Structure 1
Amino acid sequence: MEKVTIITIAGGSASGKTTFAQTLSDKIFENHSVSHLSMDNYYKDFSHLNFEERQNLNFDHPSSLDIDLICKHLDDLKNFKSIQVPIYDFTTHSQSGKFKTINPSEVVIFDGILALQVEEVRKRSNIKIFIRTDDDIRFIRRLVRDVNDRGRNLDDVINQYLTTVRPMYKFFVEPSIEHADIIVPYYEGNKIAMDLVAAKINTLLSKSVNSEIINNNKIN
C-alpha cells in the first residue's frame, strides 16, 4: 500500500485557502498524484428546516459540520480507498443530494476554515498550514463572492458576517493558528510563498519515498 500524505489548510473565510490549495496541488502534481477536498462540502444536511431558518444557522461553528464523515473519508483515503464526497449547495444552505468520487492519491489536500480547530482532523494531518489574510481583504472577497456566485443579497451577507463569521473567526479559527506547521501570509499573486511551501512539501515527500525504498531494501 502506498503512503498517503494529508496536507491540511486552514484560515478565515475567503482567505484564499482554495486558491492556495489548487496552486499547491498544481505544483506538487508534477511528481505526485494529488486530490483536493473542501470542508465546505461536509456541512450537515439541514434541508428539514425552511430557507429562513437555514439562513440563520451558524455555519462557522464546528457543530454545523459532519466531523464523523470527514474523519471516515480521510481514513479511507489514508487506506487508499475511493470516497463519495457530498456536494453542498450554498444557494439553498443544504446538501444537494449529489456526490463526486475522489480516487486515492499519494497526497490529499484538505482545506476549511475549521480544519485546524478540529482535533480529529489535526491527528490525521501530516502537514498543517494556516493562511493569514487581513480581515478587510477577507470581508471584501467574501462579500463579492456571496453576492455574485451564491445569489445572496448585500444586507444578508453583512449581517451574517457580523453575527457569526467574524465572532467565530475570533473564537475558533484565529486561535487554531497555533497548531500550524507553516503560516502563510496570503495575498493575490504571493508566488514566493506558494513556491516555498511547494518546494518544502516536495522535499518532504521525496524524503519519505526514499526512506520507504531504503526500508524495503533492508527488509528484502
Structure 2
Amino acid sequence: MSKTTVIAIAGASASGKSLFASTVYQELVAELGTDGIAILAEDAYYRDQSHMTMEQRVLTNYDQPSAFEHDLLLQHIQQLRAGKSVEMPQYSHTSHTRMEDTIKVASAKVIMVEGILLLTDPALREEFDIAVFMDTPLDVCLLRRIKRDIEERGRTLQSVTEQYEQYVRPAFFDHIFPSKQYADLVVTRGGQNEIAIDIIKTKIRQLLAE
C-alpha cells in the first residue's frame, strides 16, 4: 500500500490557498479517484467559543496561533495517516464559534491541509511531507478579503478594515511571514501558478511511489 502524503498550504488570509488546494485536488482526482484525496481546513479548528457572549467573540484575535486548536488538528492528521477517519469540526464565521455538526473525513493517499498559521507550529510541521507557502502581495489579499467578508460573511467595510489594521496585518508580520522559511515551495501569483501545481503533483507521485 502506498504511503500517505500530507501537504500543507499556508500563507496570508485570502492569499489563494483555497484556490491552489482546489486546483491540485481537481487535477489529482483523475489519477487517484475521489477517495484518494482528503482536505482539512485550519479554519475548522478555531476554538469553540460557545461559552462566550457575542461581544466577547467579536473581540477575539483570530490571527494568533492560540486561536486554533492545533492539538486536535495534529491528532486528526495522525489518525488519517493511520488509516482512520476523523470528524472535522465546522466553524461559523458569522457566529464566531463552532457549529454542532461535523464533517466525516476518510483517510486517503493524499491529505491537504490549508490554513494561515500551519507552519508556525513545530509539531504540525513534523507531519508535513510538503509545505507550500502562498506568497501574495498584501494589497491583493486585502482586496480579496474585503470582497469575501462582505459577500460571504455579512461584514461591513468598516469592520473588515478595522480587523485588518488591528489584527490581520500585524499577525502577518509577527507569525505568518516568518513561517515562510519552513516552506519547501513558495508560490507566487495567488494560487494560479500552473508550474507550481505541476511540481507539487510530480512530488506527490514520487512520495506515493516510495
Q: TM-score range by the shorter chain?
A: over 0.9
Instruction: Judge conservation of contact 1:2–1:80 (CA < 8 Å) in 2.
Output: no
Which residue of the other structure, out of 65, 68, 71, is the alignment partner of 1:65? 68
Partner secondary structure for residue 29 of structure 1: helix
Q: More deviation in 1-10 or 149-158?
A: 1-10
Counterpart in the other structure of 2:136: 133
Corresponding position: 1:156 with 2:159: yes
Corresponding position: 1:171 with 2:179: no
Q: Tell me which structure has the larger Cα radius of gyration.
A: 1
Partner secondary structure for residue 187 of structure 2: strand
Counterparts of 2:130 and 2:31, CA distance in 1 = 18
Structural RMSD (CA) = 1.4
Q: More deviation in 108-117 or 195-204?
A: 195-204
Partner secondary structure for residue 31 of structure 1: helix
Q: What is the Cα deviation at residue 47 of structure 1?
A: 1.6
Q: TM-score, length-normalised on structure 2?
A: 0.94
Counterpart in the other structure of 1:43: 46
Instruction: Judge conservation of contact 1:28–1:202 (CA < 8 Å) in 2.
Output: no
Instruction: Judge conservation of contact 2:109–2:208 (CA < 8 Å) in 1.
Output: no
Counterparts of 1:149 and 1:34, CA distance in 2 = 26
Counterparts of 1:61 and 1:78, CA distance in 2 = 27
Q: More deviation in 197-206 or 140-149?
A: 197-206
Counterpart in the other structure of 2:10: 10
Counterparts of 1:118 and 1:55, CA distance in 2 = 25
Summarize the alignment of residues 1-220 of structure 1 with structure 2, pairs less than 5 Å apart: 2-32=2-32, 33-187=36-190, 189-206=192-209, 208=210
Q: What is the Cα deviation at residue 82 of structure 1?
A: 0.3
What percentage of aligned pairs have identical amino acids?
A: 36
Q: What is the Cα deviation at residue 188 of structure 1?
A: 6.0
Structure 2 alignment gaps of length 5 or more = none
Counterparts of 1:138 and 1:23, CA distance in 2 = 19
Instruction: Judge conservation of contact 2:44–2:91 (CA < 8 Å) in 1.
Output: yes
Q: TM-score, length-normalised on structure 1?
A: 0.90
Structure 1 alignment gaps of length 5 or more = 209-220
Counterparts of 1:31 and 1:192, CA distance in 2 = 18
Counterparts of 1:110 and 1:39, CA distance in 2 = 7
* Relative contact order, higher structure (CA 8 A, sep 6+): 2
Tell me which amino acid in the other structure corresponds to 2:24.
L
Q: What is the Cα deviation at residue 94 of structure 1?
A: 0.6
Partner secondary structure for residue 140 of structure 2: helix
Tell me which amino acid in the other structure corresponds to 1:143.
I
Query: Compared with structure 1, are the counterparts of its residues 187 and 67 closer, same or farther at alpha carbon in structure 2 (3 Å cutoff)?
Result: closer
Q: How many residues align?
A: 207
Counterparts of 1:123 and 1:201, CA distance in 2 = 17
